[in-house]
Amino acid sequence: MNDTFWGEPISVYTRAQALADGVLVDLTAQARPYGFKIPFACTEAVWLSIQWTESTEARKPDATGQSTDGRLHDVLSLARMAAQGAAQAGAAVAEFEVLMVPVDGKAMAARTQMFRLVVSGGDQGEPVLTLMLPGES
C-alpha cells in the first residue's frame, strides 16, 4: 500500500481479532482430517447454519438425527472436493452447495445451502482459508 497517497489506515481489524471476537470460528483442528493443512475458519453466519443444538432439535416436529459434528462432516467433505477443483483451476475461491436441514423453523426437508471457500492472506500474509456464505466478504 502506498501510505504517501492514501495515508495511514484509520483502523485495522485483524483475523486474530475476528477469531477472538467470534466473528470468525476457528475450524483448523476439525478441518485437518479432511486434508486442509492451513488455518481454516468460518464466518459466524456459516457456523450458525451448521451448529445443531438441543433447542434446534426441540423446534423440529420429529427427531432429525442431525448433529453439529455430522453437519460439519458434510460441509468439510464437500469443501475439500471443491477446494481440489479450484486448486487445479488455479482459483482462489471455491463455491459449492450442501443439502442441509435448515436450523431455523420447523422445516424437516433438506435445502440447498451455498458456501464459498476463499484462500487469502492472513495477518502476516500467510495463506488461510475462510468459509463464508455468498455475499459475505
Vertex 105 angle, CA 27 and 63, to 5°: 80
Average pLDDT, the chain: 94
CA dist., res. 54 & res. 76, Å (int): 22
CA dist., res. 78 & res. 112, Å (int): 13
Cell 486448486 locates to 87
CA dist., res. 44 & res. 18, Å (int): 10
Q: What is the pLDDT of residues 28-87, one digit of tens each?
A: 999 999 999 999 999 999 999 999 999 999 999 999 999 999 999 999 999 999 999 999
| Cell numbers describing residue 46 | 456459516
